[in-house]
Structure 1
């Protein structure tokens, strides 16, 4: 399956064998799917002694979204923080992408919310884990925004578009809504799309996206990592997550909203958490012009990771 595009017969035969699923007849998500993102669902399998994931697009998804996902995933395929694609097929009734993955994996979303079967991928996220994940996703976004002739905007960043692999490495996935900015332009008007709660306010009112649109969505992910909460209906307060966190930070009550998993961590992480929350709130400012670029966010995350308590630093 080294060729990105394969013959219809060969791909269907290999998918059926690898996943023990009759792909031509599989039209909707069923109990055998292991996870889903914004545009499709995934079946696990084994091919030539390698663990694979096969993504099938939702039947109501536009064909252009499937093509988008395949094209931009292939463009990003060399980046270490993007889920590696082995093959793809548009000839099936529902398009499919085949990824290589280790044996133990899951969506970042599943680290916070257990699936209906009661299982998640079984990792406890320490603050250092969260910083690592945030930095890795930021690095993938930097590549998306800077490595091509014009910046590419992901447009649908969410915890369901981040896979944590068997080594605990964050992998960006689902490029179905990506848009390349026109040459020489810093923005483009597109139809409203994306995951509710992650989309920036300006996009809702204008239909215009920029690189800073991704920064806003990334900021919401940072806030989720910080609090363990999701973007709407936080605790018993009906509010957005950024508003919820800002309200507590302004009152110097950050400790009251931290995820309990990291609340008990002591020492120099207190200063990391303060810096982390400040950065997340900068990313979620209402005006895109006021937000940092993702490359500056990535640099700040590295700085936060290396943060040393001032008293420890001065004692050396």
Structure 2
């Protein structure tokens, strides 16, 4: 039975959620169900650390087990400011409830009776792309072959292109970080975190908004001027693609070339001039050669450089990036 405090939270959170849904999507959303706090506490064994899939700065994603099947539970941390946690969780519910794409984790429902809403997604495996790429985070993960990396890049590109072109108002993800991609039991890559996502107003090409995110993944025009649009996401995707190809974190790449003052495009161009073999993950180079591999590496590194161009106008659209990656993947 819901407590008095729980009923107050349901009314307060429900009102905020409805207001945001009306503002951004005319009140429309996919059907989602309501979970009780008790249900989710039981499903996660009282949020046992053994069930943690992802630890973020502001939330944890847990494995949960119910009679009708496994779930993933996104719960914001107690040390996060309540105001910020509420804002991010409501934002995530609003955007995730619009999604219908195979490379975006499906939102099943939420719990509004807690002070900060809790999100419930379809079940995912206990790893992220960070586990697969940063070698070797955990001994059970084998190095990814180039073909698998291109498949992941293609799937993520498809998801971001859907955000940009699948709605009347383009959605900008703003979330690029090592734990941002998870996998289902068929090893399909899925986006899931829309805590910071924004929608571009109708008739506008961009919005100006306070800078938020990890410094190394932020596009220059957003970092310097607060200008945010689809090309900001393209830059973040370029960082993601570079990490897939190099097996190295962007922060490590930037720190290795301090004279470039965070201009990632210059660093990557220099790497290509020196020969892409010097930047590509050695485990890729050590793979058995096959027809089309060199073409894949050349095309992928060139696409990554275009995506992180200092000039937003010179970056491709995500649809173009997705098409190019699909062509690369087919060379395998």
Which TM-score bucket, shorter chain as reference? 0.7 to 0.9
Q: CA deviation at 1:260?
A: 2.0
Unaligned runs of 5+ in 2: 1-29
Contact 2:154 2:325 in 1 (8 A): yes
Cα distance in 2 for residues equivalent to 1:257 and 1:46: 42
1:36-57 deviation line (CA, Å, top 9, x unaligned): 3454111212112522111112
1:271 matches 2:295: yes
Residues 131-186 of structure 1, C-alpha deviations (whole Å, 9 max, x = no match): 11011111111111111111111112233211122211000011011111010111
Give the C-alpha shift of residue 33 in structure 1. Answer: 2.5
Q: Is residue 2:95 matched to residue 1:67?
A: no
Shift of 1:213: 0.3
- How far apart, in 1, do the equivalents of 2:309 and 2:254 lie? 22
Find the aligned partners of 1:243 and 1:228 in 2 and give their Cα distance.
19
SS of residue matched to 1:43: strand
Higher helix content, 1 or 2: 2
1:17 aligns with 2:45: no
Say whether the 8 Å CA contact 2:62–2:72 is kept in structure 1. yes
How many Å separate the matches in 2 of 1:236 and 1:71? 37
SS of 1:213's equivalent in the other structure is helix
1:261 corresponds, among 258, 280, 283, to 283
Q: Provide the C-alpha distance between the structure 2 equivalents of 1:100 and 1:112, rounded to a whole number of angstroms.
A: 23
Q: How does 1:196-207 map to 2 (within 5 A)?
A: 196-207=215-226
Bigger drift between 290-299 and 240-249 goes to: 240-249
Query: How do residues 274-289 of structure 1 correspond to structure 2 at under 5 angstroms?
Result: 274-289=298-313
1:306 and 2:301 are equivalent in the alignment: no
Structure 1 residues 110-189: aligned runs within 5 Å: 110-113=131-134, 119=138, 122-189=141-208
Give the SS at the match of 1:138: helix
2-side partners of 1:121 and 1:201: how far apart? 37
In the aligned structure 2, how far is the partner of 1:119 from the partner of 1:50? Answer: 27
SS in 2 for 1:160: coil
Q: Contact 1:219–1:283 at 8 Å: present in 2 too?
A: yes
Aligned to 1:313: none
Structure 1 distance, partners of 2:101, 2:57, is 21
Q: Give the structure 1 partner of residue 22 of structure 2.
A: none
What is the root-mean-square deviation in Å for CA atoms of aligned residues?
Answer: 2.4
| Residue 53 of structure 2 corresponds to residue 34 of structure 1 | yes
Trace 1:77-96 onto structure 2 (pairs within 5 A): 78-96=100-118
Instruction: Summarize the Cα distance change of 1:219–1:158 in structure 2 as closer, same or farther, 3 Å threshold.
Output: same
Deviation at 1:123, TM superposition (A): 4.6
8 Å CA contact 1:220–1:242 kept in 2: the answer is: no
Report the CA distance between 1:257 and its aligned residue. Answer: 1.8
Cα distance change on mapping 1:45 and 1:112 into 2, 3 Å: same
1:245 and 2:264 matched: no
- Look up the SS of the partner of 2:119 in the other structure: strand
Kept in 2, the 8 Å contact 1:37–1:161? The answer is no
If the length of structure 1 is used for normalisation, what is the TM-score?
0.85
Q: Residue 59 of structure 2 contacts residue 74 of structure 2 at CA under 8 Å; is this kept in 1? A: yes
Instruction: Please give the TM-score of this superposition, normalised by the length of structure 2.
Output: 0.81
Aligned-residue offset at 1:92? 0.8
Matches of 2:56 and 2:64 in 1, distance apart? 18
Moved more, 257-266 or 203-212: 257-266
Change in Cα spacing, 1:101 to 1:121, as seen in structure 2 (3 Å) is farther
Q: Distance in 2 between matches of 1:31 and 1:47?
A: 16
Q: Residue 296 of structure 1 corresponds to which residue in structure 2?
A: 320
Gaps of 5+ in 1: 309-316
